[in-house]
C-alpha cells in the first residue's frame, strides 16, 4: 500500500540519481571559503553578461525587456534568459504540489529529494522552452551565419549559446547555495539591479546616443541630467515645462527627481519592514538559565513571492507576444493574433504590449506611465483615462494576491512551515517556556503565528513592489527589482553575521540546521 501512495515522480528517480549536480560539502565549510566562492560566482556572472551571443543579426528584440532588472540577465548576451528558467520551473512545481496534483510530502526526506531532483530536470526543460522561441524573429541569426551553416543550424547555434548561459546560471546558483552564502538567484538579481541604479544616478552619456546632447536629450543619469537641464534652461523654460521635466521626466529623460525620491522612500520602507518581527521566547530544556529568542519576521517568506510573480508575468508577456507576432503561432485558433490577449507594435522596436490583457498586466512604469495619461485625458494608443485607472487596480491586485499565494506555497515547499521549524527548535534542545517539550505542541504554538505572518508578509511585498512600480524607480530598475535588492542585501548581511557567529561558536550550527 505504501508503494501505491508514492508520487509518479518516483519514476524519475533513476534519472535524478544520475543527474549531474554540484556535490554537497562533506563537512563544515568555513566562512572564508564560502565568501570566496560567492565572490567568484559574482565575478563570473558579470563577465558572462558582457559575452554577446555570436551570430545574431543587428536587430534584437528583447522579449523580457520590461522585466530585465529582475531576470538577472543582459539582453543580447549569453545570459539573455537569466534566472527565468529556474524560477519558472519552481513556479510550476510549487503550483502542482500546492494544489495536490503532485502528491509529495516535503517533510519526508525522500519525497523532498524527489522534489528537488525533479526541479533540476524541469529547469533544463524550461531553458529549452524559453530559448527556442527567442530565435524566431527576436534573436534572429545574421545573414553571415545563415550563409555559413543554413538557417536550421544557425538557429541551433544561437539556442545552444542561450542554453549554455542559462545552465551556467543554474549551476552557479547551486554552487552558491551549497558552498557559498545565500542564494545565487538573489545575488544575481541584486547585482543587476544595483548596476542599473548606479548608472541611472550617475550616467553622464545622453539618453539617446544617436541624438546630440540637448535639453530634450540630456545625460541619462538623474544627477548629471538634472544639473544639465537646470543650467541650460532659461527661467521662462523652467517655469513653463522645466519643472515637469526635471521632477517627472519626459521621453528623453526618465531618471527624474520623483523616481529618485521614490527609490529612497521604498528603500527606507523595506528596511523598516524587514526589521519588523515577532520574537518567541525560548529556554534550553536541560541547561538552566540558557535562554534565547526565535524571530519570526514580518516578511516571513522573504522576497521570493515577488520573484515568482515577476517571472510569471514575464512568461505571460513572452507567450502573448509569440501568439500575436510569430508567423507560425498567430494562426492558432482562438489564441493566435488576438488583440485581447495582447497586442504589440514590434515595428517600433518594442516588445511591450500596447493593448489587451498583457497590457493590463504590464509594468506601470512610474507616474508618466499611468497618472499623467489619466490627468491629460488619455494618450495616443487608444486608451481612455478609465482604462489606465483599471490597469492600476488590476496590476496592484495581481501583484498582491499572487505574492500572498506564492508566499503560502513557498513556506510549504521549504523548511519554513510550523512543523519544520518546531523540529529545528526541538533538535537544538530549546523549548518555549510553559509548554511541554514536544514538537507537536511546539508546532501548534507556531501555527498561531507563521500562517498569519506569511499572509501579511506576502501582502506587504506585493504592495511595496506594485507601489514602487507606480511611483517609478531610478535606472528603470522596477519596483520589484528595487524591493528585491534591498531585501536581498539585508538578508545577505544577516546570513554573513550568522556564518561568522557559527564560525566562532560551533554549537550554534545545530540550531541553524547547518552540517
- As averages over each run of 10 residues, the pLDDT of the chain (515 residues) reads 62 81 78 89 90 80 73 83 85 77 76 84 89 79 85 89 92 88 84 86 82 83 88 84 80 78 85 80 62 76 81 85 82 84 79 88 84 77 85 94 89 76 73 70 81 89 88 78 82 79 58 49
Could you say which DSSP state residue 219 is in?
B
DSSP, collapsed to helix, strand or coil, labels residue 131 as helix
Residues paired with 206 in a beta bridge: 219
Task: Write b or e for each residue in 109-128: b if 16 or more Cβ atoms lie within 10 A of its Cβ, otherwise e.
Answer: eebbebbebbbbebbbebbe
Cell numbers describing residue 250: 519626459
Given the C-alpha cell 536550421, which residue does it identify?
152
Domains of the chain (ranges; CATH) run 34-203 (1.10.3370.10), 211-254 (no CATH), 261-515 (1.10.3370.10)
Please list, in sequence order, all residues whose beta carbon lies within 8 angstroms of the beta carbon of residue 330, skipping any fewer than 6 positions away.
Answer: 323, 324, 336, 337
State the DSSP string of 222-280.
HHHHHHHHHHHS-HHHIIIIIHHHHHT-BTTB---HHHHHHHHHHHHHHHHHHH-EEEE
pTM score: 0.74
Per-residue pLDDT at 285: 58
Euclidean distance between the first and the last CA atom of the chain, given in angstroms as a whole number: 34
Per-residue pLDDT at 397: 95
- The backbone torsions φ and ψ at residue 102, rounded to the nearest 5 degrees and listed phi first, read -100, 120
- The backbone torsions φ and ψ at residue 400, rounded to the nearest 5 degrees and listed phi first, read -70, -50
Per-residue pLDDT at 288: 60
Per-residue pLDDT at 434: 67
Per-residue pLDDT at 273: 82
Per-residue pLDDT at 1: 38
Helix, strand, coil percent content, the chain, rounded in steps of 5? 60, 5, 30
Amino acid at each position: 500500500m505504501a508503494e501505491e501512495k508514492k508520487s509518479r515522480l518516483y519514476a524519475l528517480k533513476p534519472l535524478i540519481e544520475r543527474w549531474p549536480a554540484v556535490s554537497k560539502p562533506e563537512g563544515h565549510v568555513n566562512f572564508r571559503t564560502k565568501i570566496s566562492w560567492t565572490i567568484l560566482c559574482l565575478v563570473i556572472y558579470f563577465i558572462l553578461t558582457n559575452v554577446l551571443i555570436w551570430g545574431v543579426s543587428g536587430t534584437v528584440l528583447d522579449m523580457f525587456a520590461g522585466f530585465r532588472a529582475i531576470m538577472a540577465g543582459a539582453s543580447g548576451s549569453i545570459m539573455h534568459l537569466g534566472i527565468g528558467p529556474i524560477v519558472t520551473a519552481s513556479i510550476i512545481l510549487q503550483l502542482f504540489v500546492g494544489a495536490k496534483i503532485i502528491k509529495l510530502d516535503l517533510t519526508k526526506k525522500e519525497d523532498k529529494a524527489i522534489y528537488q531532483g525533479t526541479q533540476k530536470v524541469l529547469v533544463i526543460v524550461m531553458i529549452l522552452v524559453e530559448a527556442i522561441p527567442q530565435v524566431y524573429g527576436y534573436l534572429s541569426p545574421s545573414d553571415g551565419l545563415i550563409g555559413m551553416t543554413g538557417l536550421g543550424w544557425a538557429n541551433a547555434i544561437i539556442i545552444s549559446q542561450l542554453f549554455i548561459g542559462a545552465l551556467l546560471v543554474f549551476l552557479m546558483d547551486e554552487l552558491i547555495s551549497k558552498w557559498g552564502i545565500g542564494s545565487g538567484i538573489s545575488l544575481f538579481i541584486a547585482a543587476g539591479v544595483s548596476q542599473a541604479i548606479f548608472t541611472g544616478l550617475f550616467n553622464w552619456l545622453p539618453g539617446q546616443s544617436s541624438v546630440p546632447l540637448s535639453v530634450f536629450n540630456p545625460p541619462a543619469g538623474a544627477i548629471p541630467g538634472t544639473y544639465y537641464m537646470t543650467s541650460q534652461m532659461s527661467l521662462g523654460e523652467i517655469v513653463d515645462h522645466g519643472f515637469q521635466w526635471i521632477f517627472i521626466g519626459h521621453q528623453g529623460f526618465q531618471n527624474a527627481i520623483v523616481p529618485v525620491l521614490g527609490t529612497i522612500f521604498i528603500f527606507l520602507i523595506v528596511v523598516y519592514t524587514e526589521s519588523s518581527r515577532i520574537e518567541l521566547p525560548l529556554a534550553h530544556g536541560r541547561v538552566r538559565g540558557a535562554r534565547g529568542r526565535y524571530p519570526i519576521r514580518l516578511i516571513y517568506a522573504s522576497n521570493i513571492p515577488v520573484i515568482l510573480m515577476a517571472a510569471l508575468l514575464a512568461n505571460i508577456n513572452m507567450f502573448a507576444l509569440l501568439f500575436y507576432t510569430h508567423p507560425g503561432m498567430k494562426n492558432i485558433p482562438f489564441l493566435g493574433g488576438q488583440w485581447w490577449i495582447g497586442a504589440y507594435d514590434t515595428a517600433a522596436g518594442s516588445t511591450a504590449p500596447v493593448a489587451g490583457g498583457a497590457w493590463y498586466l504590464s509594468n506601470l512604469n512610474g507616474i508618466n506611465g499611468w497618472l499623467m495619461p489619466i490627468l491629460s485625458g488619455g494618450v495616443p494608443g487608444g486608451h481612455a483615462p478609465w482604462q489606465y485607472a483599471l490597469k492600476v487596480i488590476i496590476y496592484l491586485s495581481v501583484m498582491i494576491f499572487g505574492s500572498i499565494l506564492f508566499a503560502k506555497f513557498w513556506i510549504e515547499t521549504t523548511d519554513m512551515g510550523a512543523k519544520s521549524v518546531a523540529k529545528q527548535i526541538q533538535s537544538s534542545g530549546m523549548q518555549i517556556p510553559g509548554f511541554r517539550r514536544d514538537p507537536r505542541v511546539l508546532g501548534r504554538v507556531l501555527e498561531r503565528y507563521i500562517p498569519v505572518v506569511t499572509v501579511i508578509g506576502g501582502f506587504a511585498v506585493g504592495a511595496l513592489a506594485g507601489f514602487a512600480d507606480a511611483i517609478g524607480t531610478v535606472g528603470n530598475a522596477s519596483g520589484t527589482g528595487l524591493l528585491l535588492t534591498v531585501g536581498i542585501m539585508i538578508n545577505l548581511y544577516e546570513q554573513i553575521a550568522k556564518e561568522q557567529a557559527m564560525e566562532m561558536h560551533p554549537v550554534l550550527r545545530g540550531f541553524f540546521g547547518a552540517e
